[in-house]
C-alpha cells in the first residue's frame, strides 16, 4: 500500500483534504505522495499507528468454489515479526512467517521451506509493523498513473516500486482515500503469478481503520478472508514468532 503527492498549485488544498478526509479535487491528478499520506490520515494518522506495538487478528478464510473454510490467525509485532497459521480441511496445516529477516512457509502438503529472492523481499516488506506509515522507505519510487473504476468506484492508480522486487499498482478511492485494490505479479515457488487483491468493509480497532474483508484472485483461484476480531497491544508469546524446528533444520543444513 504505497504512493505519492500533489501538484504545486494544490499543496495547501491537499493538506486540508488529507486532514479532513475529504475527496481530492475532481480535475486534479495528485502526486502519489499526497495519495499515500492521505491514506495514512484517513486510516487513523501517524499518532494512532505509533501507539500500536502488536496485533492479533482472527478470521475465516474461504475458497467458495471448493467449498473450503478454515480459521486463520495472524500475529504481528514491531519491528518486523509476523506469523500466520491456518488448518485447511483435506489439506492440513499451513503456517508462514517472518522472523529476524527470515521468511518461511511450513505446510503439511509442501513441507518446510525458506523463501529467497523477490519472494523473500515481498514477505519481509509486508511483515514490517505499521509499514504504511513509513511507506517512503518501503517504496522509494512512486507515481500516479491515472484514474480507474473499481467496482463502480473511481480510484487513483499509484505505481509503487520497492527497493527490491516488482512494482505494485495500488488503487485508492478518490472519495474516501481508502485502499480498495492492489495488483501485482508475485514470484512464488510455482513461478510468476498475476495477483489481484480487493479490500472492503473497513472497521476501526484502537483508532486505526483496517479492511475487515479482502479477497484475492491468483492462478485461477479466488479466496476471501473475513476478519472477525482484532486485538491490539496484548502480549504475544515469543514462541509464536520462533522459527519452527523444521525451518531451523533447513537453516542448519544450509550452513553445513
How does pLDDT run across 26-40, given as a tens digit for each residue?
A: 457 899 999 999 999
Identify the CATH number of the domain defined by range 8-255: 2.50.20.10
Q: How confident is the model at residue 227 (pLDDT cuts 50, 70, 90)?
A: very high
Alpha helices in the chain (DSSP H): 11-20, 32-42, 46-50, 117-127, 135-138, 245-255
Domain boundaries, the chain: 8-255
pLDDT of residue 104: 96
Q: The whole model's pTM is what?
A: 0.85
CB of 42 closer than 8 Å to CB of 178: yes
Question: Helix (H, G, I), strand (E, B), or coil: what is residue 108?
Answer: coil
Separation CA 143–CA 116 (nearest Å)? 27
148 vs 219 pLDDT, higher one: 148
pLDDT of residue 25: 52
**Is the pLDDT confidence value at 2 over 90?**
no
How does pLDDT run across 165-223, given as a tens digit for each residue?
A: 999 999 999 999 999 999 999 888 778 889 999 999 999 999 999 999 999 998 788 99
Q: How far is CA 14 from each of CA 11, 69, 215, 228, rounded to the nearest angstrom? A: 5, 43, 31, 34
Amino acid at each position: 500500500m504505497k504512493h505519492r503527492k500533489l501538484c504545486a498549485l494544490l499543496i495547501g488544498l491537499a493538506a486540508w483534504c488529507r486532514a479532513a478526509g475529504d475527496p481530492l479535487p475532481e480535475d486534479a491528478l495528485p502526486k502519489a505522495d499526497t495519495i499515500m499520506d492521505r491514506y495514512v490520515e484517513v486510516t487513523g494518522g501517524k499518532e494512532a499507528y505509533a501507539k500500536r506495538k502488536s496485533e492479533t487478528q482472527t478470521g475465516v478464510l474461504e475458497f467458495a468454489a471448493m467449498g473450503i473454510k478454515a480459521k486463520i490467525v495472524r500475529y504481528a509485532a514491531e519491528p518486523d515479526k509476523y506469523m500466520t497459521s491456518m488448518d485447511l480441511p483435506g489439506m492440513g496445516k499451513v503456517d508462514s512467517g517472518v522472523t529476524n529477516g527470515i521468511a518461511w512457509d511450513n505446510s503439511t502438503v509442501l513441507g518446510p521451506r525458506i523463501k529467497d529472492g523477490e519472494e523473500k523481499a515481498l514477505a519481509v516488506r509486508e511483515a514490517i509493523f505499521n509499514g504504511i506509515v513509513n511507506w517512503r522507505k518501503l517504496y522509494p519510487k512512486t507515481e500516479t498513473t491515472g484514474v480507474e473504476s473499481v467496482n463502480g468506484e473511481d480510484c487513483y492508480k499509484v505505481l509503487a516500486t520497492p527497493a527490491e522486487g516488482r512494482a505494485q499498482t495500488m488503487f485508492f478511492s478518490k472519495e474516501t482515500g481508502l485502499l480498495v485494490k492492489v495488483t501485482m505479479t508475485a514470484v512464488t515457488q510455482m513461478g510468476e503469478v498475476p495477483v489481484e487483491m480487493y479490500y472492503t468493509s473497513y472497521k476501526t480497532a484502537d483508532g486505526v481503520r483496517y479492511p475487515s474483508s479482502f479477497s484475492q484472485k491468483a492462478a485461477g483461484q479466488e479466496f476471501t478472508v473475513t476478519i472477525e476480531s482484532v486485538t491490539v497491544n496484548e502480549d504475544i508469546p515469543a514462541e509464536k514468532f520462533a522459527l519452527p524446528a523444521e525451518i531451523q533444520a533447513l537453516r542448519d543444513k544450509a550452513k553445513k
